[in-house]
Structure 1
């Protein structure tokens, strides 16, 4: 297995470390919401990159994340990486599993956007100040937990 490279953002890296070192007991619930760890392959480097994201659920085995990038004008690297290779690793609490990323579109995207803004209202604030449309991604479980 390739070496994992955690987010270069210090507070995100601390969150990931807390999540991993506790086996998902600490860090899963953060800031009043559930978070997961997403591992993707870098589109340029080929390295495995891990970040922490707020998530919602949309039925069994479907985890919804938002590419807000903290309200920055550019898409987050993890989203761009998933466009190149939609295969990902996901950790939700103590459970890790493979997943495939699918970008939500049309009415499905609108429904999931509403769900996610109820969980984290700041997403609407970000969207209102941006020219880009913030992507909504569904991580669909493709295998059994490890």
Structure 2
């Protein structure tokens, strides 16, 4: 448990916020690709997914490794737009607002999902659970004036014909 506390303390620092966004995602993407989706390095600290969203402006697919808080036994996921406690919202959160249908790679399998930005009491309840799950989120929120975005991802329903997600 001591190791987890040290990692949480380090990840709460401004230095980590300056360095991690340039190092962690690049390593995660490389290892995820080399292992064909079976390994995500940062998942040794927190559960993680690789989100494939549609670019809000470009319309192109964007792959982003992210920490997540799985719920319901891994049947839905909470994503936090903390941006490591940096001022702006992360690009992937803009993408989900513009195009909520996305895909995640979760433990080596691809899952079509729909994202929903949480608000009000639903967000407050998720935020409390997130702080219990990963306390450094409190330090990230304290450093920024914006409210950190919190999304719930749920698997997309198959169409009545069974041919995939509805159009």
TM score, norm. by length of structure 1: 0.84
Please say if residues 28 and 41 of structure 2, whose CA atoms lie closer than 8 Å, have aligned partners that are also in contact: no
- Normalized per residue, the structure richer in helix is 2
Please say if residues 36 and 55 of structure 1, whose CA atoms lie closer than 8 Å, have aligned partners that are also in contact: yes
**Equivalent of residue 90 in structure 1, options 104, 121, 138:** 104
TM score, norm. by length of structure 2: 0.75
**Equivalent of residue 27 in structure 2, options 8, 11, 14:** 14
1:1-146 counterparts in 2 under 5 A? 9-27=22-40, 30-59=43-72, 61-142=75-156
The structural deviation recorded for 1:72 is: 1.0
The structural deviation recorded for 1:121 is: 1.4
> For structure 2, which runs of at least 5 residues remain unmatched after alignment?
1-20, 159-167
Q: What are the Cα deviations for residues 53-88 of structure 1, in whole angstroms up to 9, with x where unaligned? A: 111122252110100011111100000111111111
Partner-residue secondary structure (3-state), 2:125: helix
Structure showing greater radius of gyration is: 2
Please say if residues 97 and 143 of structure 1, whose CA atoms lie closer than 8 Å, have aligned partners that are also in contact: no
Count residues with an aligned counterpart.
137
Please say if residues 39 and 108 of structure 2, whose CA atoms lie closer than 8 Å, have aligned partners that are also in contact: no
Q: What are the Cα deviations for residues 7-61 of structure 1, in whole angstroms up to 9, with x where unaligned? A: x944312212212321333216635211100011111111110111111122252
> For structure 1, which runs of at least 5 residues remain unmatched after alignment?
1-7
Using CA pairs under 8 Å that are at least 6 residues apart, name the structure with larger relative contact order, 1 or 2. Answer: 1
- Normalized per residue, the structure richer in strand is 1
Return structure 1 stretches of 4+ with deviation > 4 angstroms.
Answer: none
The structural deviation recorded for 1:122 is: 1.3
Name the Cα RMSD after superposition. Answer: 1.9
